Amino acid sequence: MAAEFGKRLALTPTPIPGLIVVDLPVHGDRRGWFKENWQREKLGALGLADFGPVQNNISFNDAAGTTRGIHAEPWDKWVSVATGRIFGAWVDLREGSTFGTVFTAEIDPSRAIFVPRGVGNAYQTLEPDTAYTYLVNDHWSPDAEYSFLNLADETVAIPWPVPLSEAEISDKDRHHPRLTEAVPVTPRKVLVVGAGGQVGRALRAEYAGDQSIEFTTRAELDLTMPFSDSRRWRDYGTIINASAYTDVDGAEKPEGRVAAWAANVTGTAALAKVAAENNITLVHISSDYVFDGSIDRGYTEDDAVSPLSVYGQTKAAGDAVVSTVPRHYIIRTSWVIGEGANFVRTMVALAERGVDPRVVDDQIGRLTFTSDIARGIRHLLTTGAEYGVYNLTGSGRPQSWAEVARAVFALTGHDPSRITPVSTEEYFAAAAAAVAPRPRNSVLELGKIEATGFRPTATADSLARLLSS
């Protein structure tokens, strides 16, 4: 056996992004040898994330020179050798600047390689009775889409140890296309759920023209109904859940309570199950209403939740469900302003109609514009930031609702003194229906997301831009 005994477990990157050569410790004596062929915890500690293998295949080859064609599969792959030696050739067939990049290496029992989705891989046996084994993180499906490259392509010019004229090759592999005709493998898709809402519309604008993004509205995928969907989920890399029940006061009513739990918890749990089972990153929009607003500082991502209202309870429960998904981002935000009805537009309408409103002045927070939420989500996904909870609001000095109202009046040329500040109790004293309790302090600290390189837009700038458009 050509395997080297006594190696340390080590990862070596290659010119193809994500393609990693792994040295495996092999322990041997006169009886033979032993190795840990895949060890999740140890590999994870070195930086190779668990890719979620679901199937183990073995390819046995009788003769040296048996050559398997260059196939790019729609799944990740861990390839190692059980006995014998192989020459491996890998060609990046993914859409992008590294398309056509080549890497070759010999693989024996003391070496393995991690092959990411979309990288074409081919193997030629160098000894008789060679068997190699591979783990994959998806089951074979007739709907799976592959890309292929001809073994003899002159552009990549793979130096096969056994000339192809002498190798054992299937007819199909001999007739695959040259690089100029190979179909690039597109990235895993992103599914935006709730694309008809305020955040969903902002995501449409943020990802305009990106063909890898799919948008679905409640009419197409209603999370309040028993969840059933025929999508091939392994083709998706990310689900962004922009769907939610947001009628804070309505959730206090019997029918609203049912609807809020159905959308914010049961529906979210269905998405979480899909994401966990298919190694999908789940992005979920949370709320300041998971807190009771009783502390005298801004809330951090690590503060314990303590919701006051039914709506807040459903958002906290949804967050807990999403936190069990291995790859998740929970975006905690407050006082959301986007397309459609919102506080700012209400104040503009009142100012223009000559109404002098009474506005609460004992609830403190920051406005969050949906364009910033969409931009922040894209930033976290693009940079591969650490999974977890991130506060995301506008930046700048926290304000009361009354202060925001005065700013709206001033920016639209109206007298801000027309705003009468009142307490929350005074404002809702005459309410005919059930009113949800609000957190008095909705300020969210932004240090964690800023540490990733994201800069939230100043609330004052976003407000001025909205009212000048």
Q: How far is the C-alpha of 76 from the C-alpha of 19, rounded, in Å?
A: 10
In order, the DSSP letters of 67-93 are: EEEEEE-SS-EEEEEEES-EEEEEEE-
Which DSSP state fits 263? I
Is the Cβ–Cβ distance between 138 and 234 less than 8 Å?
yes
Q: Which residues are catalytic?
A: 71, 134
SS (H, E, C) 180-237: HHCCCECCCEEEEECCCCHHHHHHHHHCCCCCCEEEECCCCCCCCCCCCCCCCHHHEE
Residue 285 three-state SS: strand
Distance CA 395, CA 388 (A): 21
Written as six digits, the tokens of 307 are 């919701």
Contact 205, 338 (CB under 8 A): no
Q: How far apart are CA 327 and CA 52, in angstroms?
A: 12
The CA distance from 181 to 100, in Å, is 12
311, amino acid identity:
Y
Determine contact, residues 406/419, Cβ cutoff 8 Å.
Answer: yes
Cβ density class 415-427: b for 16+ within 10 Å, e for less: eeeebebbebeeb
In sequence order, which residues have a C-beta less than 8 Å from that of residue 72 and are 6 or more positions away?
91, 93, 94, 117, 118, 119, 120, 121, 146, 147, 148, 149, 185
Of 174, 190, 291, residue with least CA distance to 239: 190
d(CA 288, CA 299): 9
